[in-house]
């Protein structure tokens, strides 16, 4: 049976209670959804109490700010794809709150409508208010962004959002243990933040990284700075599944993080299901493959079996959370 409440990525933050509470659709509070009983299981600040004590008022959503492009480099430009890396100057507040693994922002060129917003993962943040990002040019929105993200130019940024990494609470519990991160192509973008979190918690992390269709590994400098061990994998006909299997079976990992496409997530899950591990199978986390437009729970782009994937923190038992919603 499906759960009716999930922990919310925004619970207890400056953005809670949000507009979903006002409309009786809070993802984590059954009482705000009209139930007489509480089934949230959340032991942080009570969303129901916050909402009722503050005369049923909700917090405003994230502010849109102007970000300035301070650096830009090409990552890939081959027949298959174009991608670039960029450093943006943002407000200290946005940089400070973008440190959590799975953080992302919505970016769009100045003068365009909100429909041009693109969710883009944070690769790194710095104290002086800068964010590193990487963008693969795919369709209209990223092409518009490619044109707008020129050095000294301005773009609009909304954030931070935190729902880019599902199963997040496992990382907070097991961040100091042995963790394997498997990543490929543009899936590399959120990995430096994930690795930084684990290294700072005193955990052991290994990253297996493949170039994917970009044909490039673009996070080596970030990982070297963190002294996070990594192995670059060649292109392989079995998508390196055999190599992953060998590493999982011999590596004594507590947590496995898949940062890539939903095909990669599924492939690794199937490996775990078939694995002949004598010890228990490592816990699994995955970067969100969902389509997100508002990231605030309003537009419904990210709905999975009726749950809002931009807000709800799913766990490994909620298999639909691995599938893209398109």
Ligand X SMILES: Cc1cc2nc3c(=O)[nH]c(=O)nc-3n(C[C@H](O)[C@H](O)[C@H](O)COP(=O)(O)OP(=O)(O)OC[C@H]3O[C@@H](n4cnc5c(N)ncnc54)[C@H](O)[C@@H]3O)c2cc1C
Applying CB under 6 A, which residues contact ligand X?
104, 118-121, 134-136, 138-142, 164, 186, 189, 288, 290-293, 326
Task: Determine contact, residues 296/19, Cβ cutoff 8 Å.
Answer: yes
In angstroms, rounded to a whole number, what is the distance separating the alpha carbons of residues 309 and 320? 10
Burial class of residue 253, CB neighbours in 10 A (0-12, 13-18, 19+): buried
In terms of C-beta distances under 8 Å and separation of at least 24 residues, what long-range contacts does 88-91 make, across chains too?
88/130, 88/131, 88/132, 88/133, 88/155, 88/157, 89/129, 89/130, 90/65, 90/129, 90/130, 90/131, 90/157, 91/65, 91/129
> How near is the Cβ of 260 to ligand X at its closest, in Å?
11
Say whether 133 sits in a helix, a strand or coil.
strand
83 contacts ligand FES (rule: CB under 6 A)? no
Q: Which of 215-223, 225-233, 269-277, 286-294 is the region at the interface with ligand FES (rule: CB under 6 A)?
A: 286-294
Residue nearest to ligand FES as judged by C-beta position = 310
Q: Which of 76-84, 147-155, 270-278, 299-307 is the region at the interface with ligand FES (rule: CB under 6 A)?
A: 299-307
Q: Tokens 């419904």 correspond to what residue? A: 300
Give the 3-state secondary structure of 23-83. Answer: CCCCCCCCCCCCCCCCCCCCCCCCHHHHHHHCCCCCCCCCCEEEEEEEEEEEEEECCCCEE
* 118 binding partner (options ligand X, ligand FES, none; Cβ < 5 to 8 Å by kind): ligand X
**Cα 131–Cα 136–Cα 140 angle in degrees, nearest 5:** 110
> How near is the Cβ of 6 to ligand X at its closest, in Å?
17
Task: Determine contact, residues 135/86, Cβ cutoff 8 Å.
Answer: yes
> How near is the Cβ of 119 to ligand X at its closest, in Å?
4
Q: Tokens 């007489």 correspond to what residue? A: 36
- 204-210 and 230-232 as β-strands: parallel, antiparallel, unpaired? parallel
58 contacts ligand FES (rule: CB under 6 A)? no
* 104 binding partner (options ligand FES, ligand X, none; Cβ < 5 to 8 Å by kind): ligand X
Nearer to ligand FES, 27 or 217 (CB): 27
Residue nearest to ligand X as judged by C-beta position = 139
302 contacts ligand FES (rule: CB under 6 A)? yes
Of 24, 44, 229, 300, the residue at the interface with ligand FES (CB under 6 A) is 300
Nearer to ligand X, 16 or 302 (CB): 302
> How near is the Cβ of 266 to ligand X at its closest, in Å?
16
Q: Which of 69-77, 124-132, 185-193, 290-298 is the region at the interface with ligand FES (rule: CB under 6 A)?
A: 290-298
Nearer to ligand FES, 100 or 307 (CB): 307
Return phi, psi of residue 124, to 5°.
-155, 155
Nearer to ligand X, 62 or 177 (CB): 62
Residues facing 85 on adjacent strands: 73, 134
Of 21, 170, 180, 292, the residue at the interface with ligand FES (CB under 6 A) is 292
Q: Which of 20-28, 147-155, 175-183, 297-305 is the region at the interface with ligand FES (rule: CB under 6 A)?
A: 297-305
283 token code pair? 């816990």
Q: Which of 37-45, 150-158, 231-239, 296-304 is the region at the interface with ligand FES (rule: CB under 6 A)?
A: 296-304
DSSP-H helix ranges across the chain: 19-22, 47-53, 92-96, 140-148, 168-174, 191-201, 220-226, 241-250, 262-274
* 310 binding partner (options ligand X, ligand FES, none; Cβ < 5 to 8 Å by kind): ligand FES
Residues that bind ligand FES (CB under 6 A): 292-295, 297-302, 308, 310
């Amino acid at each position: 049976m499906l759960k009716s409440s999930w922990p919310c990525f925004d619970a207890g933050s400056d953005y809670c209670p949000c507009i979903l509470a006002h409309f009786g659709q809070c993802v984590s509070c059954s009482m705000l959804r009209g139930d007489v009983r509480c089934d949230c299981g959340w032991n942080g600040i009570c969303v129901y109490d916050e909402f009722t004590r503050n005369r049923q008022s909700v917090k405003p959503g994230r502010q849109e700010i102007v970000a300035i492009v301070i650096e830009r480099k090409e990552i890939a430009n081959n027949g298959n794809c174009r991608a670039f890396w960029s450093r943006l100057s943002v407000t200290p507040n946005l940089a400070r709150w973008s440190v959590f693994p799975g953080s992302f922002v919505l970016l769009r060129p100045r003068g365009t409508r909100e429909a041009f917003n693109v969710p883009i993962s944070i690769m790194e943040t710095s104290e002086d208010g800068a964010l590193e990002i990487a963008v693969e040019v795919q369709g209209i929105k990223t092409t518009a962004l490619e044109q707008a993200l020129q050095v000294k130019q301005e773009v609009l940024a909304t954030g931070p959002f935190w729902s880019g990494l599902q199963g997040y609470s496992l990382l907070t519990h097991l961040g100091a243990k042995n963790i394997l991160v498997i990543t490929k192509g543009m899936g590399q973008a959120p990995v430096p933040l994930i690795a930084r979190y684990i290294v700072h918690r005193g955990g052991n992390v290994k990253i297996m990284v493949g170039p994917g269709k970009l044909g490039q590994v673009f996070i080596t400098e970030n990982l070297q700075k963190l002294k996070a061990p990594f192995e670059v994998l060649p292109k392989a006909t079995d998508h390196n599944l055999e190599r992953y299997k060998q590493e999982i079976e011999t590596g004594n990992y507590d947590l496995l993080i898949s940062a890539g496409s939903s095909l990669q997530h599924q492939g690794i899950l199937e490996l775990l299901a078939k694995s002949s591990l004598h010890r228990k199978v490592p816990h699994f986390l995955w970067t969100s493959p969902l389509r997100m437009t508002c990231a605030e729970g309003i537009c419904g782009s990210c709905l999975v079996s009726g749950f809002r994937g931009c807000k709800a923190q799913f766990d490994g038992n909620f298999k639909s959370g691995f599938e893209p919603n398109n």
